[in-house]
């Protein structure tokens, strides 16, 4: 009987001890995008840095491939994700209650930092004669899946160019990761992808048997977009990154920035730890993807239209990045 009681007591200590240990470790999930884009490795890079110090912070980060910016905003708002990579335009729209969040602003959304610039990239079958935006009329165009950043960018661009998405072309709504094979198979003529360069999916499209070209966005349309929307800026697509593309010079377009966001419900301690690890290991972070090559610490505080989370702000003030 005494032995049985001792066994029960020992088991209880083990169980409660394990429970305390589990309670001490916080788990956070980072929502990204498709596995061929830059969002997924970005989330992976951040998680890797945090998990190196998991014993120090009692923090464990995991990465989830998702449908992109809109999904990540909504999942953060619902508490299903603690962090997410979100296009700067989607961050602005969500916090201010426009576009997909018309009349329903996501006031819990908080910015942590911005990352790489993302160009609105239009990839076309070179045999179709699609050299500028006006040539999209009458073509089969993948504007992106609902909830993706590129879909919103495509709709903004087409509207600025006076192209009716419902009547002037045949719009498809596939994920960006599917676009390269669809273009090579002749099932679409052109696709949109808002992404940092170089990009694996775009390289896949360029490397196939079907010759492809990047479609330029005229300066007057870029100006129309940047005048109307505060989160857009002129950009270009570097053709040197894509051997085999038919363009011979960098292609003018417009773009946004990728931003790292969270919720006001996530603790200051967790956000501080993640911010500190990225900025304290900045040189290492820049090497984790070619799209990060030209980052500066100062540029990572630009393009943030939701309030900066207090945990991130604490770090920025400590190191003098913000007053």
pLDDT score at 8:
40
Cross-strand pairs, 84: 31, 261
- Find the helix or strand (DSSP H, E) in which 84 lies: strand 83-87
Number of domains in the chain: 2
Last residue of a domain, one of 211, 229, 256: 256
* Boundary of a domain, candidates 208, 233, 256: 256
CATH of the domain at 18: 3.40.190.10
Asked if the structure places residue 106 within a domain, the reply is yes
Domain presence at residue 30: yes
What pLDDT does residue 35 have?
A: 85
CA 165 to mean position of chain CA atoms: 24
d(CA 320, CA 176): 39
Is residue 230 located within the same domain as residue 264? Answer: no
In a domain, 230, yes or no: yes
Q: Name the nearest CA neighbour of 259 among 74, 36, 39.
A: 39
DSSP state of 28: E
* Structure tokens that stand for 205 in this block: 């499209």
Give the span between the Cα atoms of 246 and 71, in whole angstroms: 34
Based on the domain organization, do 206 and 248 belong to the same domain?
A: yes
H helix or E strand, kind and range, residue 317 = helix 310-318
The DSSP code sequence of 196-238 is: -SS-HHHHHHHTSSS-EEEPB--HHHHHHHHHH-TT-EEEEE-
Residues 109 and 130 in one domain: no
Contact in structure between 215 and 143 (CB atoms under 8 Å): no
**323 part of a folded domain:** no
Does 46 map to a domain?
A: yes
As a whole number of angstroms, the distance between CA 222 and CA 234 comes to 6
3-class state of residue 23 by DSSP: helix
100 in the same domain as 53: yes
Question: Does residue 158 share a domain with residue 112?
Answer: no
Q: What integer pLDDT is reported at residue 106 of this predicted model?
A: 98
Q: Are residues 285 and 182 in the same domain?
A: no
pLDDT of residue 9: 39
Which pLDDT score, from 0 to 100, does residue 36 have?
A: 78
| Dist. CA 296–CA 250, nearest whole Å | 23
Residues 6+ apart with CB under 8 A from 107: 95, 264
Q: Does residue 86 lie in a domain region? A: yes
**236 within a domain of the structure (yes/no):** yes
Angle at 166 between CA 164 and CA 171, to 5 degrees: 105
- 66 plus 196 within the same structural domain: no
Domain region containing 141: 118-256
**pLDDT tens, the chain, 323 aa long:** 434 433 443 444 444 444 444 458 999 999 999 887 789 989 999 999 999 999 999 999 999 999 899 999 999 999 999 999 999 999 999 999 998 999 999 999 999 999 988 999 999 999 999 999 999 999 999 999 987 888 999 999 999 999 999 999 999 999 888 999 999 999 999 999 999 898 889 999 999 999 999 999 999 999 999 999 988 988 999 999 999 999 999 999 999 999 999 999 999 999 999 999 999 999 999 998 888 888 899 989 988 989 999 999 999 999 999 98
Report the helix count and the strand count for the chain, using DSSP H and E: 12, 10
DSSP strand pairing (233-237 vs 140-142): unpaired
Asked if 306 and 111 touch (Cβ cutoff 8 Å), the reply is yes
85 and 212, same domain (yes or no): no
pLDDT at 294: 81
- Tell me, what DSSP letter sits at residue 14? H
Shared domain for 15 and 101, answered yes or no, is yes
Clarify whether residues 94 and 187 are in a common domain: no
Q: What is the CA radius of gyration of the chain?
A: 22
């Amino acid at each position: 009987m005494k032995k049985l009681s001792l066994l029960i007591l020992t088991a209880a200590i083990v169980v409660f001890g394990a429970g305390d240990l589990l309670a001490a470790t916080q788990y956070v999930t980072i929502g990204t995008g498709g596995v061929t884009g830059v969002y997924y490795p970005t989330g992976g890079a951040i998680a890797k840095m945090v998990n190196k110090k998991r014993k120090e912070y009692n923090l464990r980060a995991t990465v989830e491939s998702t449908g992109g910016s809109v999904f990540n905003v909504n999942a953060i708002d619902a508490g299903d994700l603690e962090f997410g990579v979100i296009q700067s335009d989607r961050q602005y729209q969500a916090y201010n209650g426009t576009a997909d969040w018309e009349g329903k602003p996501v006031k819990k959304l908080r910015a942590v930092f911005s990352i790489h610039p993302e160009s609105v990239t239009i990839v076309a079958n070179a045999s179709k004669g699609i050299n500028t935006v006006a040539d999209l009329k009458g073509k089969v165009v993948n504007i992106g899946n609902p909830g993706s950043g590129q879909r919103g960018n495509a709709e903004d661009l087409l509207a600025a160019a006076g192209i009716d998405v419902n009547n002037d072309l045949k719009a498809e709504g596939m994920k960006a990761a599917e676009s390269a094979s669809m273009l090579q198979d002749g099932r679409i003529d052109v696709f949109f992808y808002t992404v940092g360069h170089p990009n694996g999916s775009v390289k896949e499209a360029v490397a196939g048997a079907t010759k492809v070209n990047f479609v330029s966005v005229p300066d007057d349309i870029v100006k129309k977009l940047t005048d109307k929307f505060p989160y857009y800026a002129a950009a270009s697509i570097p053709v040197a990154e894509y051997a085999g593309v038919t363009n011979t010079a960098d292609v003018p377009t417009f773009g946004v920035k990728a931003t790292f966001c969270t919720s006001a419900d996530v603790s200051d301690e967790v956000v501080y730890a993640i911010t500190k690890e990225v900025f304290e290991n900045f040189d290492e972070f820049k090497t984790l993807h070619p799209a990060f090559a030209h980052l500066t610490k100062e540029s990572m505080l630009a393009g943030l239209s939701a309030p900066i989370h207090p945990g991130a702000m604490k770090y920025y003030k400590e190191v003098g990045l913000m007053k």
